[in-house]
Amino acid sequence: MRPSPVIALIGNPNAGKSSLFNQLTGLRQKTGNFPGVTVDKKSGTWPVDTQTIATIVDFPGIYSIYPKSLDEQIVTDILANPEHPDYPDVSVVVVDAANLHRNLLLFTQVSDFGVPVVLALNMLDVAQQEAKEVNAVRLAMRLGVPVVRINARTGEGLDLLKKAILGQLQEPVMPGKLFFDPEEELSDLISDTKKQYHLDNNYLSLQYLIQHDGFSFLNRSQQVGLDALIDKYQFNEQTFQASETITRYKRIAAITKEVVTSKRSTNQPTWSQKLDHYLLHPVWGYAIFGFILLLIFQAIFAWAQPFMDAIDAGVAWLNGQLKESLPSGPLTDLLTDGILAGIGGILVFIPQIAFLFLLVALLEESGYMSRVMVIMDRIMRKFGLNGRSVVPLISGVACAVPAIMATRSIGTRRDRLITILVTPLMSCSARLPIYTILIALVVPSRRILGLFNLQGLALMALYLLGLVSALVAAYVLKLFLRTKERGYFIMELPTFKMPRWNHVGLTVWESVRSFVWEAGRVILAISIVLWVLASYGPGDSMDRAEARAKQQNRTLSTDQLQNQIASDRLEASYAGQFGHFIEPVIRPLGYDWKIGIALLSSFAAREVFVGTMSTIYSIGSGGDNADITIRERLRQERNPSTGGAMYTPALAWSLLIFYVFAMMCMSTLAATQRETKSWKWPAVQLVYMMLLAYGAAFLTYQLLQ
């Protein structure tokens, strides 16, 4: 036994594998890529005993070891390669007891690879609801491996699972024979393959022949050698694979007949099936989904507002206190006008981010999100997308980077490429700070019909606009990207369950922490750079601007004069001059040079826009205004041409529409390049989204002004 053995969690989608992973690892988790490939994996540590700390690896969910997508391929790639760093010492195959017949197919295939296996019998409560009883002892005798009854949601049975894993690590128990032995009809071919590639497992030899083109650890000469064996023995991979699957299911049927007892005398639908009658209805399903979305966006504004006001006021108070107590000078200005103002512009949106992820986590935990994917599949196909595109698009509401990575589950190249290109049009959480602060400026907090908040309706409209634009863009792209491949969408609907509040809390915590940490690092760096550019200018330009302001505004009060001096110095700085340089390009959209600076800085990350505006307006105001919140600074900003409010409805909606479409995230472009292995498609993505953003913002401003 290795000092740090690897325990693989393998199972069908929705079998409870990830729930078991969370139970075993708790907070001792990390994410990364499987060695050699850009496929995400979750791993964590688990103390098997006082001396052994095992590494738990959560493998992608699969239905069989014959992959149909990039993320499924990694499972077979590892099981067939004992030299892989993630090759398991023990595989825990998690099965859904309510669907034992289908789940055992994967188990028999994993077992035939020769890996020590523990069968984790999960969802027994669901099986009982369907009047099914599974005899775990008899199942263990028939399979020849340890079988443990668990509840991955509550943690029940984990002690027995630990004992079974420890037993398999110390003295592995293997089935007496393969569940499917190809040597009976392919003895000569199997013998030659085992001899040529130094293998001792019949089923592994068969997989070398069937999947050799997909195995990353085989070099070209080895693949050519396998092709030669296939030609020599006239071996048909597809025909044999179909025959194998049929044979396995026949043997599995005999096993399940012995171990599963059904107590249901009638075909009465379960309560989950009764709910699905409405949730999956071609009319009511969309109506219910729309109503749930409306409630989510209403809650984001209604519940988060008190917390946002408290954080906003607290940051403004701290800023004022620091300016009063610290000696005046560049370091104090950097701390207050640069770092604190920039980061404070993001911290204020933590409550809304937290509530968004809380409500989405509740939908996922309950099982409703799977229903959303099914009903959305009907729409996706009309626009030429694969049904599996639903998952990345919905994930894009949180962040486009993992959403683009999730396209690996899409089998056809064209559908995967189109999904990658349109996913950033879905409004991610980084846009939420921009949406909420601009909506609060121009949309009154008024209720419609006594129930719906007008600001919540505006927010929902922006998210729906992102979805509609993604579908339209996908339809246009499919006209240019032709293919004969046909996509498919298979999803098993889990039963409805009560959310696990510890998992919901962990999801919210991880999401908020990631948002603050990732955004905070970028904002900190940009705030410092921006403060330097806005506090210094070429030559004596800033001193001349100050002298000119004093001479031209002698009638102003002291406070008004200080504000004018600060504004003129900012305009004469490096940042101001650069803003003026690009102002002619953005002027048709209604933007001035200050907004131009924020637009450019937000190319690093969209959420930087708010922090940049906070820094710009902090530097461009007098010292007596240090305790004014960012929202008030935007509201008080004047248009130098008209003397009226700068942030009119026309300007605010122009900015909102711009950020719905704009491709302003370097991380997303990097993810697109990594997934497509070309800079061509990130360039296409950047160009078409920026042109769309500019055109839509221009039309919005011209129509509303």
| Residue 214 labeled ligand binder | no
Phi-psi region of 55 (alpha: psi -120 to 50; beta: other; left: phi over 0): beta
The number of folded domains in the chain is: 3
Pairing state between β 40-47 and 29-33: antiparallel
| Residue 14 labeled ligand binder | yes
| Residue 415 labeled ligand binder | no
- Indicate whether 413 and 307 sit together in one domain: yes
Q: Which of 464, 480, 496 is the last residue of a domain?
A: 480
Identify the weakest region by mean pLDDT among 102-116, 182-196, 288-302, 329-343. 329-343
Please determine, for residue 37, whether its predicted confidence score (pLDDT) is greater than 60.
no
Q: Which of 145, 170, 195 is the last residue of a domain?
A: 170
Q: What is the pLDDT of residue 653?
A: 94
| Residue 58 labeled ligand binder | yes
- Indicate whether 189 and 166 sit together in one domain: no
- Indicate whether 370 and 424 sit together in one domain: yes
| Residue 13 labeled ligand binder | yes
| Residue 596 labeled ligand binder | no
- Indicate whether 338 and 382 sit together in one domain: yes
Q: Read off the pLDDT of residues 477-519 as tens digits, 9 standing for 90 and up.
A: 888 876 555 555 566 677 777 777 777 887 788 777 776 776 6
| Residue 61 labeled ligand binder | yes
Q: Does a structural domain hold residue 53?
A: yes
Higher pLDDT pick, 520 / 688: 688
Q: What is the pLDDT of residue 658?
A: 94
| Residue 12 labeled ligand binder | yes
- Indicate whether 216 and 325 sit together in one domain: no
| Residue 144 labeled ligand binder | no
* Stated length of the chain: 705
| Residue 151 labeled ligand binder | no
Q: Read off the pLDDT of residues 62-114 as tens digits, 9 standing for 90 and up.
A: 888 887 777 778 888 899 888 888 899 999 999 988 888 889 999 999 999 99
- Indicate whether 417 and 293 sit together in one domain: yes
| Average predicted confidence (pLDDT) for the chain | 81
Q: What is the pLDDT of residue 383?
A: 81
What is the span of the domain harbouring residue 358?
A: 284-480
Q: Read off the pLDDT of residues 360-373 as tens digits, 9 standing for 90 and up.
A: 788 877 888 778 87
- Specify the residue for token string 């507002």: 305
Q: Which of 459, 480, 501 is the last residue of a domain?
A: 480
Alpha helices, DSSP H only, in 82-182?
100-112, 124-129, 136-143, 158-170
- Indicate whether 324 and 355 sit together in one domain: yes
| Residue 624 labeled ligand binder | no
Q: Is the pTM of this model over 0.85?
A: no
- Indicate whether 99 and 65 sit together in one domain: yes
| Residue 60 labeled ligand binder | yes
- Rounded to whole angstroms, how far apart are CA atoms 284 and 553? 64
Please determine, for residue 615, whether its predicted confidence score (pLDDT) is greater than 80.
no
Give 533-599 as a DSSP string.
Answer: HHH--STTHHHHHHHHHHHH-TTS-HHHHHHHHHHHHHHHSHHHHHHHHHHHHHGGGT--HHHHHHH
- Indicate whether 364 and 459 sit together in one domain: yes
| Residue 17 labeled ligand binder | yes
Q: Does a structural domain hold residue 621?
A: no
Q: Does a structural domain hold residue 148?
A: yes
| Residue 11 labeled ligand binder | yes
Please determine, for residue 681, whether its predicted confidence score (pLDDT) is greater than 70.
yes
| Residue 539 labeled ligand binder | no
| Residue 354 labeled ligand binder | no
- Rounded to whole angstroms, how far apart are CA atoms 88 and 30? 18
| Residue 36 labeled ligand binder | yes
| Residue 124 labeled ligand binder | yes
Please determine, for residue 285, whether its predicted confidence score (pLDDT) is greater than 60.
yes
Neighbours of 220 (CB within 10 A): 7
